[in-house]
Amino acid sequence: MEEGTSKSASYSEGTEDPYDACQWDVREGCEVRQILDRIADKWSLLVVALLASRRMRFTELLREVDGVSQRMLTVTLRQLERDGLVERTVYPVVPPRVEYELTSLGVTLHSAVQSLVVWTETHQVEIASARAAYDRAQQALESDHGRTDPAPGAGARRAR
Partner DNA sequence: CAGTATCCTGAACGATACTG
Partner DNA sequence: CAGTATCGTTCAGGATACTG
Contacts (CB under 8 A) with its own copies, residues 53-82: 53, 63-67, 81-82
Q: Which does 21 bind (CB under 5 to 8 A by kind): its own copies, DNA, none?
A: its own copies
User: Which residues are 116's β-sheet partners?
Assistant: none
- Out of 24, 55, 64, 78, the residue judged to bind DNA by CB under 7 A: 78
How many Å is the Cα radius of gyration of the chain? Answer: 23
# residues near its own copies by CB under 8 A: 77
Residue 69 burial class via C-beta count within 10 angstroms: exposed 0-12, middle 13-18, buried 19 and up: exposed
Name which of residues 95 to 134 contact DNA (CB under 7 A): 95-99
Residues with Cβ within 8 Å of residue 153, at least 6 apart in sequence: none
Give the one entry of DNA, its own copies, none that residue 12 binds, where binding means its C-beta sits below a cut-off of 5 to 8 angstroms depending on kind: none
55 or 107: CB nearest DNA: 55
Q: Which of residues 40-69 bind DNA (CB under 7 A)?
A: 41-42, 57-60, 67-69
| Least distance between its own copies and beta carbon 146 (Å) | 19
43, 65 Cβ separation under 8 angstroms: yes
Q: What is the largest CA-CA distance in the chain?
A: 78
